[in-house]
Structure 1
């Protein structure tokens, strides 16, 4: 048995079913071993796309996902997606090839110290220096990646170790039992809630990581406490629930800010500081702060919880739901303002207003369908105006915010959730960064629809330059014919000029379950409302 054979056995033992990546000379053995395994290798057009696909797959499944590259430039191309996973607390295992151990020193062609390269953007960066270490390193990598707070782990695979003779077996996976909050902490928080006049829950993605969404909904509905969810926790409470205050994040509605100003108790559940910085919500009147999480709260300015309930979130929330407390929903008027703002739309004309494009996308999708948003002005419009009704149905980066994530993310979403309709929403800039992956989607037969908000430039940067300096530079560019471009990859291409046309074409694409691209000429003069 080769080292690569043992590696693949260990990956299978960890439940790996897919690896995203691009092969190279230094991982030939690993690729050959995959042929005889139950693991599917997903060939991408670029390693960055592979790392982004792994990130979105891990986000949707709540399980680690794996990406693979060769050494040198292949490995450096993984960095963007791995760094994004690191900031978003998503468990990804990055496997990279490397030169023979005896040649692992500079200057060597394509050699750089990959362990050091990945160290600042991973929870751990490891190297397999001997085949006997493969089972231990693989088990450690998955354990570290999934331990709260989760994140990526890099494993370097020297070519000679993968080629060499190996003995051993995968190490068993050990379930970890986490205890719930103690009774005294439950009592303290219950008393805080009882004495509060204006409590609010700030719900984060840690609830999803703990698989505690059902217990969370029972808790807030039983106690009747309004909920604002972070971007990464969107859909934890359906938008049409009377307790929902929509999402907070990059651009928060002024009346949602008002809710935090008036709140005397913020209960942060599964909340990570990066999701929505405390300086944006710990405002207004003096307030008590409670934190509920699997691990201790992070340290940040204006975030010093008065009480922390640490441990098994499902048990903690169930205990809280059983307490004899029910509050009045004090945010009803603010919620009405939210609805009026979100549904007060401009007239349908050409070019298409971004508000109407977002509404058209929402109206064409079922509650459980998935939108993957790229990064750009359209992301801010999606965050403000796209209501969610189920968790993990509006996906975007909240960490590194890399442009180009939508198309790789849509492919991963369709692979993980084949029964759902998937829409990728891109600007023209972000689309062109990873649009070669349309070939990947065509080859894999993973149909989804890409909606391009086309303004011929970097609209958000342009409006900020105009606002700050009264002039612009480096924000305008030309585009190909997106219809012909899509068709060259085996997709169907469409061009629309009104929101009504967008609705009709998008509904047709989704009904036919086809790989398609819709070019929407967008009116980004509306972006001025995002920087007011």
Structure 2
């Protein structure tokens, strides 16, 4: 045995992994862990106002750093609250270690206040769920980090039995385990992939989120340029290819995706790279053409209707480099026509009058916000515009949730981004519906003295649902946030609220906000009708 308690061993092990923040809402069972965090340099506990917000913060920390984000929730309601953000890490593919209180062995399975089976709760939304043992603290945590970061990243849940934290920890020899790196794909698959690509007349490249994490940006750009092939992206692959690049064709699923479809529907072969169907199912967009997938996870495709010509399972970077070495002529695409379609698409998403709508609000924000800054956003109509029109200079500078798509993501995600990148400008775009879900986390930004500009799009409308109602010729019901007005007040939880009613006032207000210290809300009072003609378009006929 050592002189360390289990609680101290847990904290020291997390620190050894590179964890700098643990987010959560404390419980009586968490007190020993908090004391260990308080007395250990280089790692701190960040009190959230809701466990769901804490887990969103851990999700984004995991994305940005590559080190599992860590969050905590107590029994029952603490765990179920935490589960919303854990689900985000699961479907948005972020490495995470989610900690919860658990009943001691003698009380498991009995009728006890707040008690549910946390192992059963987290099993469907984690890669693995387990519980801590005093004799195996380092082994269990290092294994959790290994599982969380290997292959398709995701969360691992560890239950902390109450009463164990103060026990003496065992002497352990366990060491951190490096993430498992995929082996190269089988040679027969690589050769078949290359043959299909060489024979194709008009292949299209589709990028997914694992194209970012596999580090193939340089190779993908070289591939597109060498063979003059258009590239479409899933929303969470933004930044892989500049919007101004001649081979960039647009983002799937988001605003005016029917225009993007005019390109990919011409293809006679789809080459997907790091594509995760959790963002957008293939069947909803691919043309009637064979699919070649370069990934580490098996492709999910309805093969009764579509052809999976080659599932190239293995190291993505190796597969892309093998494809890049293909010997064939430039493909038969009209890139001038692509440029024209793209120019018309962006023109349709530009403000065309003096009205103050979301298109103008995003254009002005992009002009005022540093190019190297990180922008996070919430779920709603505005995310469809951001996905298509927000110029993103490189991966990681626009952070959204698409696989999980939880409203309320924007506020906590910006907090995590600023904590992880304190010297990088951070702003966040959120609709008034999502704002109300996690507004309490603004108190965290105040307490941590974080310079974040929250741009609140106030239109008093759950626009995506309202648009769907109107498409069915149903009356508008249950979607207005309020009858009229603003979010209320000029200060929320200590965060100043600066209101803007037109484009000029908004531009001036943004400049003022970016010069201020601490978190600031810029409330842009907009008309949501601009979304109606831009979002929820079909990606193919």
TM-score between the two structures when normalised by the length of structure 2:
0.91
SS at match of 2:479: coil
Preserved CA contact (<8 Å) 2:100 2:160 = yes
| Residue 240 (structure 1) aligned to one of 244, 254, 273 | 244
SS at match of 1:157: strand
Note if contact 1:502-1:520 (Cα within 8 Å) is conserved in structure 2: yes
Map of 1:132 onto structure 2: 135
Q: Which residue number corresponds to residue 3 of structure 1? A: 6
- Asked if 1:160 corresponds to 2:168, the answer is no
Specify which of 187, 193, 203 is matched with residue 189 of structure 1. Answer: 193
Q: Residue 150 of structure 1 aligns with which residue?
A: 153
Match of 1:222 among 226, 235, 259: 226
CA–CA separation in structure 1 for the residues paired with 2:306 and 2:372: 34
What SS is found at the alignment partner of 2:532? helix
Task: Name the CA distance, whole Å, in 1 between partners of 2:118 and 2:393.
Answer: 42
Give unmatched runs, 5+ long, in structure 1. Answer: none
Q: 1:338 aligns with which of 332, 336, 342?
A: 342
Structure 1 position 314 matched with structure 2 position 336? no
Matched, 1:116 2:120: yes
Would the alpha carbon gap of residues 25 and 357 (structure 1) be closer, same or farther in structure 2, given more than 3 Å must change? same
Do structure 1's residue 446 and structure 2's residue 467 form an aligned pair? no
**Does the CA-based 8 Å contact 1:93-1:141 persist in structure 2?**
yes
Where do 5+ consecutive residues of structure 2 fail to align? none
Q: C-alpha separation between the residues in 2 aligned to 1:229 and 1:477?
A: 32
2:439 is the alignment partner of 1:423: no
Kindly tell me: are residues 325 and 20 of structure 1, through their superposed partners in 2, closer, same or farther at Cα, counting changes over 3 Å?
farther
**Are 1:410 and 2:442 an aligned pair?**
no
Mapped contact 1:224–1:326 kept (Cα < 8 A) = no
Question: 1:21-75 deviations in whole A, cap 9, x for unaligned?
Answer: 1111011111122223231211111111000011111122233111112222111
Q: In 2, are the aligned partners of 1:465 and 1:471 still within 8 Å (CA)?
A: yes
Contact 2:69/2:95 (<8 A) preserved:
yes
Q: Distance in 1 between matches of 2:247 and 2:100?
A: 46
How many matched pairs? 527
After TM superposition, list the pairs within 5 Å mapping 1:193-342 onto structure 2. 193-283=197-287, 286-300=288-302, 304-328=307-331, 329-342=333-346
Q: Spell out, residue by residue over 1:227-264, the C-alpha distance to the aligned partner (whole angstroms, 9 max, x if none).
A: 11110101101111111112112445222112221101
Query: What is the distance in 2 between the residues matched to 1:335 and 1:106?
Result: 66
Question: Higher mean Cα deviation, 185-194 or 112-121?
Answer: 185-194
The 3 A distance-change label for structure 1 pair 173 and 260 is: same
Q: 1:158 to 1:506 in 2, by over 3 A?
A: same
- Confirm or deny: 8 A CA contact 1:438 1:489 kept in the other structure: yes
User: Which range is displaced more, 78-87 or 462-471?
Assistant: 462-471
Whole-angstrom CA distance in 1 between matches of 2:177 and 2:366: 42
The whole-number CA distance in structure 1 between the counterparts of 2:67 and 2:226 is 30
Deviation at 1:182, TM superposition (A): 4.9
Indicate yes or no: 2:180 matched with 1:179. Answer: no
| Counterparts in 2 of 1:481 and 1:356: CA distance versus 1, 3 Å | closer
SS in structure 2 of the partner of residue 167 of structure 1: coil
Give the distance between the partners of 1:178 and 1:376, measured in 2 at CA: 36
Query: Corresponding residue for 2:73?
Result: 69
1:386 aligned onto 2:390: yes
Shift in Å, 1:430: 0.8
Q: Which residue of 2 aligns with 1:40?
A: 44
Runs (4+) of structure 1 exceeding 6 A deviation are none
Match status 1:527 vs 2:531 = yes
Deviation at residue 113 of structure 1 after TM alignment: 1.0
Alpha-carbon offset, residue 149 of structure 1: 1.6
Q: Structure 1: how far apart are the matches of 2:64 and 2:437? A: 23
- Kindly indicate whether the alpha-carbon contact (under 8 Å) linking 2:130 and 2:159 is maintained by their aligned counterparts in 1: yes
Mapped partners of 2:186, 2:517: distance in 1: 50
Most deviating of 457-466 and 77-86: 457-466
* Structure-2 separation of matches of 1:25 and 1:104: 18
Whether the 8 Å CA contact 2:207–2:273 is kept in 1: the answer is: yes
Counterpart secondary structure, 1:106: coil
Kept after mapping to 1: 8 A contact 2:432/2:487:
no
> In 2, distance between residues paired with 1:254 and 1:247?
10
Q: Deviations over 1:398-434 (max 9, x none)?
A: 1221111101011111112223222211111111111
